[in-house]
Amino acid sequence: MRTLVPGEWYILFTCSDCKTRQILFPDLSEGRATLRATYKVECAKCNFIGKYESENLERYQHPSNADPKPIYGIAFFALLALLRKGGLLRLDRIQKDSPGRISR
């Protein structure tokens, strides 16, 4: 579980099934960038898997005077997948050749 940080921006989606608003990922552009993608996301509440077009997402800035709030980590994994697909994140698999020896 992650925490909403006061003053930070986030991209939200509303589950098509249970109508719960949830964080998709942090908005690093602070509301300035244009999103052009379709996101396939599983709802953390009802487990419905939906596809959400960027024009149906909303931006949210957590109030700077609010307390930090816990959120589910699904958005974190969605962000990692997006970064990896865009080539901004490289994940190396670690393999064990023999006991005590690791290679990449």
| Structural domain boundaries in the chain | 2-103
pLDDT at 70 over 80: no
**Which pLDDT band, with edges at 50, 70 and 90, does 18 fall under?**
very high
Average pLDDT taken over every residue of the chain: 78
Q: Indicate whether this model's pTM tops 0.95.
A: no
Beta bridge partners of 52: 39
With beta carbons less than 8 A apart as the criterion, state whether 13 and 56 touch: yes
Closest to 22 (Cα-Cα) out of 38, 50, 43, 1 = 43
